[in-house]
Amino acid sequence: MEQLNDNKISGVIKIYSQGDPEVLVYEEELVGDPAANQILLTHKAIGVNFVDTMFRNGTFPITKFPMGAGVEASGIIESVGKDITHFIMQIAYAIPEESCPHSCFSAEEVECLEHQIEQLEGKTDKLKNPYTSSDLKRYIWAIARLGGWKRYQSERKPGITTFWIGLQKFTAISDQVKHFQLADQSSKKVRTTTTHWYQLLHSSSF
């Protein structure tokens, strides 16, 4: 998945020793892309509890310095590590609020998923994708369908295994699209459109 972070500078409060409030040190750090098991947030609200004060003043011991001040925050998910995507999709599909598609998928992947949705939707309203392009659930629906979910109203919501299978298939499709694009760019005789790439894929054995 594409990482959306541009290696931004973030402010952070650190403690190098315990004592009065003067031990609190403000620093700036370069924030890179999240590791496989991490989520990158843009903080909109943070909390400092009384227990944080007790760590700072020495009431509670600190075994490793420097220590960050505060452990609670809420904000907007900017990008996720590859091992987190399955859980983000499961959470997003379970809540009524809209989630940004780019918290899981790049612009190119969203385009690829839109072409998949055209192929995966059925003829009846029950088998059509009910979500808008501004909602992550629209593209989770496509991943679940690729993973074998039938989308009948009587069927339970897709789970982690379905998402995993769907992501594996989608990754293979996305990789083939990139292969077609690279082959097309390197050829002086062949010039195809994006739609043609997807038509080639849908005529293959996926």
For 1, other C-beta atoms within 10 Å of its C-beta total: 17
Instruction: Encode pLDDT of 5-15 as tens digits.
Output: 456 788 889 99
Mean pLDDT of the chain: 79
Q: What secondary structure letter does DSSP report for 5?
A: -
Q: CA-CA distance, 42 to 6, in Å (whole number)?
A: 12
Instruction: Encode pLDDT of 62-107 as tens digits.
Output: 889 999 877 787 777 777 776 677 667 767 777 778 888 887 788 8
Q: Please, are residues 190 and 184 in contact by the beta-carbon 8 Å criterion?
A: yes
Kindly give, in sequence order, each residue whose CB lies less than 8 Å from that of residue 198, ignoring residues fewer than 6 positions away: 112, 115, 177
Q: CA-CA distance, 30 to 120, in Å (whole number)?
A: 42
Q: Where are the domains of the chain?
A: 12-80, 85-202
pLDDT at 23: 95
The domain 85-202 is placed in CATH, from the list 1.10.287.130, 2.60.40.3120, 2.40.50.140, 1.10.740.10, at 1.10.740.10
For the chain, give the number of residues: 206
In this model, does residue 201 exceed pLDDT 90?
no
| DSSP-derived 3-state class of residue 44 | strand
Q: What secondary structure letter does DSSP report for 21?
A: G
| DSSP-derived 3-state class of residue 100 | coil
pLDDT at 83: 67
Q: CA-CA distance, 170 to 146, in Å (whole number)?
A: 7
Q: CA-CA distance, 29 to 94, in Å (whole number)?
A: 35
Kindly give, in sequence order, each residue whose CB lies less than 8 Å from that of residue 59, ignoring residues fewer than 6 positions away: none
Higher pLDDT, residue 176 or 204: 176
**Cα–Cα distances in Å, from 25 out to 95, 101, 172, 201?**
39, 37, 48, 55
Q: Please, are residues 98 and 134 in contact by the beta-carbon 8 Å criterion?
A: yes
In this model, does residue 59 exceed pLDDT 90?
yes
Structure tokens at 83: 């091992």
Class for the domain spanning 12-80: alpha beta
pTM for the model stands at 0.53
